[in-house]
Amino acid sequence: MKRLFRAAALSLAMVSAAVGSASAEGLIRISEQFGTLYIPFHILRDQNLIEKHGKELGIDIKVEWLKLSGGNAVNDALLSGSVDVASAGIGPFFTVWDRTKGAVKIIGAFGATPNYLLTNKPDIKSLKDFGPNDRIATPAAGVSVQARTLQIAAEKEFGAGNQGKLDSIQVTLPHPDATAALISGSTEITGHLSNSPFQEQALKDPKVHKVWSSYDVLGGPFTPTVAYTTVKWRDANPKTYEAFFRAFREATEIAAKDHRLAADTYVKVEKSKLDPAFVKQIIDNPEVQFTLVPQKSEVFADFLYRTGAIKTRPDGWKAYTFPELHDQAGS
């Protein structure tokens, strides 16, 4: 009981810190994860766009980066004040939005891109074919955007109230580790709800095939990952925030217009061994769209509220995004 009390007290303290404190103007600490969907971050980092826009606003900005995996780790970093701008799936975002009663909001999305459910078992053609001895890897079991997409798919496949039917066979693994495990075939991992470029890498192996795409589950293009911060930090650091938003917007526009530069920048910043031509082929996919505006996020919000994962039902996508996005068509 004492341990539970201490954990609850620590959680409350972290939320209070996020709502009530902010770092100094001119410093921005940003978290990022794995995948080509973070290309706008790679571009703004490589071209020093935050610093450029800061100077235009009359401020020198120091930028610090932190690589994390999984929405839980990202939210903990934001709430503890270790980062100023978090990046994670829409599922973990809604968790922290609900937890802080709206004191955290979306700055922008990383674009629409599909997530593939992959398997190395030839007999698996649908979710019904996964058994109790199978294991499906997601970045944060039960809470990541991939995990929530799996729950939405499970509800559709097994019926209302069965969204958690496959939760017991989910395991937490970063995408690079899950991809290696799936390809090797020598671990317990038989499924992986992935992202690019890892899903395309895995599909090069003849033992791996796609079961479905998140676009199949959600009914079209979907922005799975977003950048977000606290209202308090934005209000206390208006020039730093504005410089970041301008840089994020410019980098997204560059990525949309110049896929070759985007691919080259991904390989450079990530120090990846992938062929830039392979990365360009991934983002040339017409299903990939670079945009800051959330798409189908309301589908996630409705699901999470209906299944009790969040307590507050947002009144449309503008309720959890900052006003810089509100002149565009989101969902």
Q: How far apart are CA 255 and CA 180, in angstroms?
A: 28
Q: pTM score, two decimals?
A: 0.86
Give the number of other CB atoms < 10 A from CB of residue 311. 10
Give the number of other CB atoms < 10 A from CB of residue 84. 23
pLDDT in tens for each of the 331 residues of the chain?
Answer: 444 333 444 444 445 555 544 557 899 999 998 889 899 999 999 999 999 999 999 999 999 999 887 778 899 999 999 999 999 989 889 999 999 999 999 999 999 999 999 999 999 999 999 999 999 999 888 888 899 999 999 999 999 999 999 999 999 999 999 999 999 998 999 999 999 999 999 999 999 999 999 999 999 999 999 999 999 999 999 999 999 999 999 999 999 999 999 999 999 999 999 999 999 999 999 999 999 999 999 999 999 999 999 999 999 999 999 999 999 999 9
pLDDT attached to residue 13: 45
pLDDT attached to residue 3: 43
DSSP result, 289-309: B--SS--SHHHHHHHHHHTTS
pLDDT attached to residue 15: 52
Q: How far apart are CA 140 and CA 170, in angstroms?
A: 9
CB 274 within 8 A of CB 203: no
Q: Is it true that the peptide bond before 197 is cis, omega within 30 degrees of 0? A: yes
Give the number of other CB atoms < 10 A from CB of residue 155. 19
Q: Which of 148, 150, 15 is nearest to 79 (CA)?
A: 15
Q: How far apart are CA 275 and CA 326, in angstroms?
A: 38
